[in-house]
Amino acid sequence: MQQFLQKLKTQPMMSGTSTGQAFWHTSAEADLLDSHSPVDGQLMARVYPTTREDYDQVVETARAAFLKWRLVPAPRRGEIVRQMGEQFRQYKKELGTLVSYEMGKSLQEGMGEVQEIIDICDFAVGQSRQLYGLTMHSERPDHRMYEQWHPLGVVGIISAFNFPVAVWSWNAMLAWICGNVCIWKPSEKTPLTALACQQIIKEVLEQNEVPEGVSCLITGGRDVGALLAEDPRIALVSATGSTRMGKAVAQTVAGRLGRYLLELGGNNAMIISQHADLNVAIPAIVFGAVGTAGQRCTSTRRLIIQESIYEDVKQRLVKAYGQLRIGNPLDEKNHVGPLIDRAAVAGYQAALFQIKEQGGRLLIDGEILEGPDFESGCYVRPAIAEMPAQTEVVQHETFAPILYLLKYGTLDEAIALQNGVPQGLSSSIFTLNLREAERFLSAAGSDCGIANVNIGTSGAEIGGAFGGEKETGGGRESGSDAWKAYMRRQTNTINYGTTLPLAQGIKFEL
Number of C-beta neighbours around residue 133 at 10 A: 14
In a domain, 67, yes or no: yes
Q: Each residue of 154-199: pLDDT tens digit?
A: 999 999 999 999 999 999 999 999 999 999 999 999 999 999 999 9
The per-residue pLDDT for 2 is 61
CA–CA separation, 235 and 304 (whole Å): 41
Co-location of 232 and 285 in the same domain: no
List, in order, residues 6 or more apart from 437 with CB less than 8 Å away.
429, 431, 453, 454
What per-residue confidence (pLDDT) applies to 187? 97
pLDDT value of position 242: 95
**239 shares a domain with 291:** no
Q: Which of 113, 263, 436, 471 is catalytic?
A: 263
Q: How far apart are CA 423 and CA 421, in angstroms?
A: 6
Are 124 and 157 contained in the same domain?
yes
Q: Are 224 and 218 in contact (CB under 8 A)?
A: yes
With H, G, I as helix, E, B as strand and everything else as coil, classify residue 23: strand
Asked if residue 19 lies in contact with residue 202, where contact means CB atoms within 8 angstroms, the answer is yes
Judgement on whether residues 306 and 259 belong to the same structural domain of the protein = no
Of 464, 481, 502, the residue at which a domain comes to its end is: 464
For 336, residues 6+ apart whose C-beta sits below 8 A from its C-beta are 106, 290, 293, 324, 325, 326, 327, 382, 401
CB burial of residue 247 (10 Å; 0-12, 13-18, 19+): middle
Could you tell me which of 427, 353, 366 has the C-alpha nearest to residue 393? 353
Is residue 505, in this structure, part of any structural domain at all?
no
CA–CA gap between residue 234 and residue 259 (Å, rounded) = 9
Give the torsion through C-alpha atoms of 107, 16, 32, 372, to 10 deg: 10
Q: Domain count for the chain, please give it.
A: 2
Residues 102, 242, single domain; the answer is yes
303 inside domain: yes
Chain centroid to CA 284: how far?
Answer: 20
437 and 308 share a domain?
yes
Please state, in angstroms and rounded to a whole number, the distance separating the CA atoms of residues 323 and 336. Answer: 11
Q: Cα(456)–Cα(284) distance, rounded to whole angstroms?
A: 5
Residue 508 lies in a domain: no
pLDDT at 26: 47
Cβ atoms of 80 and 210 within 8 Å: the answer is: yes
Would you say residue 29 lies in a domain? no
Among residues 211, 179, 224, the alpha carbon closest in space to that of 33 is found at 224
CA distances from 61 to 21, 95, 208, 212 (A): 10, 27, 18, 7
Residue 459 sits in the same domain as residue 401? yes
* Domain membership flag for residue 503: no
**pLDDT (tens digit, 9 = 90+) per residue, 449-489?**
999 999 999 988 999 999 999 999 999 999 999 999 999 99
The size of the chain, in residues, is 510
Question: Does 296 lie in the same domain as 165?
Answer: no
CA distance 422 to 196: 36
pLDDT over 90 for what percent of the chain?
A: 91
Q: With contact defined as beta carbons under 8 Å apart, do 448 and 425 qualify? A: yes
Residue 106 identity (one-letter amino acid): S
Claim to verify: residue 185 and residue 140 sit in the same structural domain: yes
Same domain, 153 and 188: yes
DSSP state of 308: G
Q: Residue 375 is part of a domain; what is its CATH number?
A: 3.40.309.10
In a domain, 37, yes or no: no
Which has the closest alpha carbon to 348: 3, 4, 38, 30?
A: 38
- Domain CATH code at residue 136: 3.40.605.10
CA quadruple 469, 472, 478, 484: dihedral sign: positive
Is 147 tagged catalytic?
no
Same domain, 340 and 448: yes
Structural domain range at position 417: 268-464
Per-residue tens of pLDDT for the chain, all 510 residues: 666 666 655 444 445 665 555 544 545 556 888 999 999 999 998 999 999 999 999 999 999 999 999 999 999 999 999 999 999 999 999 999 999 999 999 999 999 999 999 999 999 999 999 999 999 999 999 999 999 999 999 999 999 999 999 999 999 999 999 999 999 999 999 999 999 999 999 999 999 999 999 999 999 999 999 999 999 999 999 999 999 999 999 999 999 999 999 999 999 999 999 999 999 999 999 999 999 999 999 999 999 999 999 999 999 999 999 999 999 999 999 999 999 999 999 999 999 999 999 999 999 999 999 999 999 999 999 999 999 877 999 999 999 999 999 999 999 999 999 999 999 999 999 999 999 999 999 999 999 999 999 999 998 899 999 999 999 999 999 999 999 999 999 999 999 999 999 999 899 888
Q: Is residue 495 part of a domain?
A: no
Q: Could you tell me if 242 and 285 lie in one domain? A: no
